[in-house]
Amino acid sequence: MDKVVSVAALADGWFKVAFSDRRTAELDVKPFVRSGFFAALRDRHYFALVGLFFSGVGWLGGKDLGPDTISARLLVTEHP
């Protein structure tokens, strides 16, 4: 399983990730914020606090997305 090695918040609910296999991708998180669990991500300041969490990404308070979830929904922007 590839792991996320870097993450950066982008505008309008998107973030950019880099995986250990050198792929980079952008992910739209807006579909996740429909659930109550991820509702806090609607706040752009909170969303901007995204960071690495184990092999995926996460936010303070236990909100996280694993690398498999990210890979399944990503838009690849570069190939190794």
pTM: 0.84
- How far apart, in whole angstroms, are the C-alpha atoms of residue 54 and residue 49? 16
| pLDDT tens by residue, 5-26 | 999 999 999 999 999 999 898 9
Token pair for 31: 């579909």
- Give how far Cα 68 sits from Cα of 34, 40, 45, Å: 20, 22, 25
Task: Give the count of beta carbons closer than 10 Å to the beta carbon of residue 65.
Answer: 22
| pLDDT tens by residue, 51-77 | 999 999 999 999 999 999 898 887 655
Note the Cα 41 to chain centre separation in Å: 11
- The confidence band for 1, taking pLDDT boundaries of 50, 70 and 90, is low
| pLDDT tens by residue, 36-56 | 999 999 999 999 999 999 999
pLDDT given at position 72: 86
